[in-house]
Amino acid sequence: MSVASFPSSFFRSSVWFTAFAVWLMALWFLSGRPVPEAPTVDIPGFDKVLHFTYFLIGAILLSIALHLRRDPRRASFPWSLLVVTISLAAIGALDEWHQSWIPTRSGNDLGDWIADVLGSLTGALACKVLLGYLPKHSTP
């Protein structure tokens, strides 16, 4: 599938900022629920993998949104990497604090927050690499 076959709305930063907002609301909803007491398979470190993956996805959404902005200074790689990583690190810290108030959640877990930050950084870097392969596309 070529880039030209995507609908033009796919290349609007507002679409990607909206997707990021949905990601953020889903995070708040998921972390605001008590952990179910159903029997589960306990895989060591699986929680960290979930944190890493979820924040990797958030970083990709936010990185694409920033990449598609019309202001080239604000879409530059160093600026967007800094914004994505710091923003998601703050969101991860707030999420950990939020979980500390939810019954059956531990919250304030440094390991979870580190997984959040590493996922954010990996997502932003991966996005930069992948977006470098796309041809420049001007939005209407």
DSSP string covering 79-107, please? HHHHHHHHHHHHHHHHHHHHHTTSTT---
**Position with higher pLDDT, 40 vs 47:** 47
Q: Can you give the pTM of this predicted structure?
A: 0.83
Please tell me the least confidently modeled range out of 30-34, 39-43, 83-87, 91-95. Answer: 39-43
Q: What is the pLDDT of residue 136?
A: 54
CB 120 within 8 A of CB 86: no
**Boundaries of every domain in the chain:** 47-140
The top-scoring range by mean pLDDT among 24-33, 41-50, 84-93 is: 84-93
The proportion of the chain whose per-residue pLDDT surpasses 90, expressed as a percent, equals 47
Mean pLDDT of the chain: 84
Query: Of 126, 108, 117, nearest to 51 (Cα)?
Result: 117
Non-local (6+) Cβ contacts of 9 within 8 A are 15
CB 82 within 8 A of CB 117: no
Confidence class of residue 140 from pLDDT cuts 50, 70 and 90?
A: very low
Q: Which residue do the tokens 């990449």 mark?
A: 67
CA–CA gap between residue 34 and residue 50 (Å, rounded): 16
Dihedral sign, Cα of residue 75, residue 61, residue 18, residue 10:
positive
Instruction: Calculate mean pLDDT across residues 58-67.
Output: 93
DSSP code of 36?
P
Non-local (6+) Cβ contacts of 111 within 8 A are 48
